[in-house]
Structure 1
Amino acid sequence: MSIPSKERLNRLLIVQAQSINDTFKLLDAPAAASMGKTDWSEVMKMANEISNQATMCALLSSGSSLEQLEDFIGSYCNLLLGLVLLCHGSTVGAGPTLRASIRDFAKPVIDHSLSLLHEALSSYGLRKERPLMPTLAGKVSTSCTRLQGSPSTDSAAIVRALAQVGTSMKDVLRELCEEEEEGEGGEPVKWAIEVGAAAVKVVKEGMRFVGGGTVAAVEVMEGVLEKLQAVGVQVDELGASAIPPLEPEEMEENMAEILLLAAAVEDELKGGGSGGSADGLFRAVGDLVGLLRRLLQEAGVGKG
């Protein structure tokens, strides 16, 4: 076996990195139903092994031969390929939100790991310590921990996505309340606060519905998420329209659109046969619908 050169190892790492990134594209599409579904515990084990290897990498680069470094890089890259394939296998039967979540949590593990390996190779043979190595190793470990704790079921992934919608709505409400405290905006701001608060309640009930052991199909949960994400966008635009300079026509359009989306959530639940598990969500949506109809009526009267 010929003694490896640093340049040859660098070319090898580039090829390995390209192979890993190409394989990662598998996560852009759902795994075939004919594949055996990978248990999430296997993904967690592999993430733990990669975290351990990242710590070793930070130590190895300063006191090893090029042959040892070559073996280590090859072994580490095989672990990364294994992680990608395990993540792909875990998406068998998964809905789009869970698939996107797995992809998003796995990507930093791959990216930080490849950066760590490139840094290990570039720093080989240097007398001066490279402070970036332990930093990158720490980023890999943190990314692995986040992947291990990420949602592994459709319901958990959808609840997490709904929580993000709720957080965004609360940010809008906070800004509107500050405007109201300063005496700005008047009636339009009060309307926007009412609608925003009612929408937040709908999202909370949506989280309870999805995360509370519902028997609803994944398609129903995904449908509820999609519509509530759209409500979140409209609440944000409603808040912007309510703050001076006022845009009353846009406010009415936003409220009308939220009304349509709320009705669509009701249709989604009725069509999905969710039964009693959706009672709280039905009530919250009904309250939002009633509020919007009243406000739109008042807006129409005000015009007259």
Structure 2
Amino acid sequence: MLWTGEPPQAEALKEAMESYFNALQGFLLHCHGSMAGAGTTLFSSIQASVKQIVGTSFRLLQGSVSLYEGEYEKGRKPSIPQLAGAVWEACSNLKKVPATNIKAIGKAMTQVTVSMKDVLREMKELKPACFSPEPDDAYANPETETPNSDEDDLGDDLTPAEFEVSEMVADIVSEALVVIKELIRAITGMIKLENPKDDGAFVATLENLLKLCQDFGVQIDELGACVYPPQELSLMKQTLGRIRENIGEIEADVKGFKNSSSGALLGTCRRLQSSIENMETELDKRVDAEVVGKMQNVTL
């Protein structure tokens, strides 16, 4: 139906809606057929895109009806071009949905690296609290006084000890990011060498690796959150333990790859495991020091 800027006529609106619903029904049937053999990740990608198209389509039709009947709130007249534009955008997004299970899983793994990069960026933006001169010194040397305009920024009040912990976490996140990148590279190398089919067994293996990657990403987020004061060292250590277990599962799955370039990945996994163990040792020392300090302050 061509939009002229005027409210649609009843018969024209009815014909347009019937035609649209028929097209939408055919689209849904086609999508249902395309989901045959789709794994969890590809199925979710298709489903999310289809929901977006259906949702924007219904909003377009509702807007058309309310415009015809004049039943809309004052100042909230529906914009048909805007609603139609949302449908076009949803259709364009459907074209970006991966065509195979392997591509869908690879895209989802890449999204995990994007999240990790955000955590790493936040860790690198942290800085220790600026030294503030005593009032007498500031009065004696007013030119050397530097106003702390960022004193309310989150993370700016890290003590030197807390800042050291944040640097250790940044190193862990950086190495974790390399692990995911090497995993994607190993899978890509195996696909090029062996040209595996998009069958159930292989897809199930990749789906399991994806789940491990996504869990890995969640744990990295939690580890990054622990850095902000007051730092919870015990929770940080628990999170590191879960990450270590997660890496072990990834290693076990990758060792099952045949003729794949997984050597570099296993090497990065071992380096990350070593870094985690070193950080756990350092956290134990800090926790012990805190306990001793609290006991010394206890008066009997």
SS of aligned partner of 2:260: helix
Aligned partner of 2:174 among 194, 197, 200:
197
Question: Are residues 1:135 and 2:79 paired?
Answer: no
Greater percentage in helix: 1
Flag structure 2 segments of 5+ consecutive residues without an equivalent: 71-76, 131-157, 197-201, 289-300
The alpha carbon displacement at 1:105 in A equals 1.3
CA deviation profile, 1:218-256 (whole Å, cap 9, x unmatched)? 111111111111111111111111222111111111111
Matches within 5 A, 1:1-304: 56=1, 59=3, 62=6, 65-124=9-68, 132-180=79-127, 184=158, 185-211=162-188, 214=191, 217-271=202-256, 273-300=257-284
Cα contact 2:186–2:261 (8 A) shared by 1: yes
TM-score (norm 1): 0.73
SS of aligned partner of 2:28: helix
SS of aligned partner of 1:267: helix
Question: In structure 2, do the counterparts of structure 1 residues 102 and 211 end up closer, same or farther at CA, with 3 Å as the change threshold?
Answer: farther
CA deviation profile, 1:52-84 (whole Å, cap 9, x unmatched)? xxxx46x17847642332222111111112222
The alpha carbon displacement at 1:180 in A equals 3.7
Cα contact 1:61–1:121 (8 A) shared by 2: no
Question: In structure 2, do the counterparts of structure 1 residues 250 and 275 end up closer, same or farther at CA, with 3 Å as the change threshold?
Answer: farther
Cα contact 1:227–1:261 (8 A) shared by 2: yes
Cα contact 1:155–1:210 (8 A) shared by 2: no
Cα contact 1:158–1:210 (8 A) shared by 2: no
Specify the structure having the higher radius of gyration (Cα). Answer: 2
Q: Percent identity?
A: 33
Cα distance in 2 between the residues matched to 1:108 and 1:73: 18
Q: Which moved more, 1:62-71 or 1:188-197?
A: 62-71
CA deviation profile, 1:113-145 (whole Å, cap 9, x unmatched)? 11111212222376xxx6610000111001101
The alpha carbon displacement at 1:210 in A equals 4.0
Partner of 1:52: none
Question: In structure 2, do the counterparts of structure 1 residues 209 and 105 end up closer, same or farther at CA, with 3 Å as the change threshold?
Answer: farther
Q: Which moved more, 1:202-211 or 1:188-197?
A: 202-211
Question: In structure 2, do the counterparts of structure 1 residues 210 and 155 end up closer, same or farther at CA, with 3 Å as the change threshold?
Answer: farther
Cα contact 2:112–2:217 (8 A) shared by 1: yes
Cα distance in 2 between the residues matched to 1:100 and 1:163: 16
Name the Cα RMSD after superposition.
Answer: 2.6
Question: In structure 2, do the counterparts of structure 1 residues 119 and 176 end up closer, same or farther at CA, with 3 Å as the change threshold?
Answer: same
The one-letter code sitting in structure 2 at the alignment partner of 1:134 is P
CA deviation profile, 1:30-68 (whole Å, cap 9, x unmatched)? xxxxxxxxxxxxxxxxxxxxxxxxxx46x1784764233
